[in-house]
């Protein structure tokens, strides 16, 4: 057995204790990505909006990639989007079969990768109107899209 992991664990604990002592109130914990994922795990799809330039930001960041501001707030989204491009990943049926990968432009501006899941993978077309809901892929919460409205959304 290597001794190193236990040693580094011990070091890390000491450093963590120091960090807690000097806790900097100006930093919000956890960071944006973990906050995003915690929202998703509660079934809420939220993205960031810049308080300075007003533009939306995705993926979650500490800094606005439009204007550089560090003032970002979490906002609900309409969930409405349009397929910007789409592809079919071919996979043997015994491994789960073909599936869709699309890039979706949200009404709010940002583009994200996702899957359109209520039509056959090769029936998804560029320009198709889609709406978001929070589902699961491989036991992980993920934003998925439907070509048809899926009722009221809570976010």
Partner 1 sequence: MSLRGETAVVGVGLTEFNGMPGHTHMEIMATAIDRAIADAGIKKDEIDGIFSANFVEMLTPLTVAEYLGINPTYMDGTNTGGSVFVNSMQSAAAALSLGLCNVALICYGSNSATGPFTHPPAMHTVEDVYRPRNPITPYALAANRHMHEFGTTKEQLAEVAVSARAWAQLNPAATMRDPLTVEDVVNARMIVDPLGKFDCCLISDGGAAMIMVRKDRARDFPKQPVYMLGVGSRTDHNLISCMPDLTTTAAKEAAAAAFAMAGVTPADIDVVELYDAFTINTILFLEDMGFCKKGEGGAFVSNGNIAPGGSLPVNTNGGGLSCVHPGMYGMFLMIEAVQQLRGECGERQVDNAKLAACNGSGGFLASQVSAIFGTGETL
Q: Which of residues 36-95 bind partner 1 (CB under 8 A)?
A: 36-37, 58-60, 84-90
- Pair of tokens at residue 64: 């606005």
CB of 50 to partner 1, least distance (A): 16
**C-alpha–C-alpha distance, residues 20 and 22, integer Å:** 5
Q: Which of residues 1-60 bind Zn ion (CB under 5 A)?
A: 50, 52-53
Q: Does 72 bind Zn ion (CB under 5 A)?
A: no
DSSP E strands, 77-123: 80-89, 99-106, 111-114
Q: Quick check: helix, strand or coil at residue 39? A: helix
Provide the 10 A C-beta neighbour count for residue 129.
13
**C-alpha–C-alpha distance, residues 22 and 25, integer Å:** 9
Which entry of partner 1, Zn ion, none binds 99, CB below 5 to 8 A by partner kind? partner 1
Footprint of partner 1 (CB under 8 A): 33, 36-37, 58-60, 84-90, 99, 101, 103, 111-115, 122, 126-127, 137-138, 140, 142
Footprint of Zn ion (CB under 5 A): 50, 52-53, 64, 66-67, 69
């Amino acid at each position: 057995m290597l001794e190193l992991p236990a040693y580094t664990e011990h070091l890390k604990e000491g450093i963590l204790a120091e960090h807690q002592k000097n806790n900097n109130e100006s930093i919000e914990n956890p960071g944006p990505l973990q906050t995003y994922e915690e929202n998703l795990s509660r079934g809420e799809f939220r993205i960031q909006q810049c308080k300075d330039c007003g533009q939306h930001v995705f993926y979650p960041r500490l800094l606005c990639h439009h204007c550089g501001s560090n003032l970002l707030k979490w906002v609900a989204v309409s969930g409405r989007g349009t397929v910007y491009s789409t592809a079919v990943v071919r996979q043997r049926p015994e491994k789960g079969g073909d599936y869709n990968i699309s890039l979706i432009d949200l009404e709010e501006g940002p583009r994200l990768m996702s899957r359109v899941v209520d039509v056959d993978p090769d029936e998804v077309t560029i320009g198709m109107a889609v709406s978001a809901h929070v589902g699961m892929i491989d036991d992980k919460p993920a934003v998925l899209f439907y070509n048809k409205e899926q009722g009221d959304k809570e976010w």
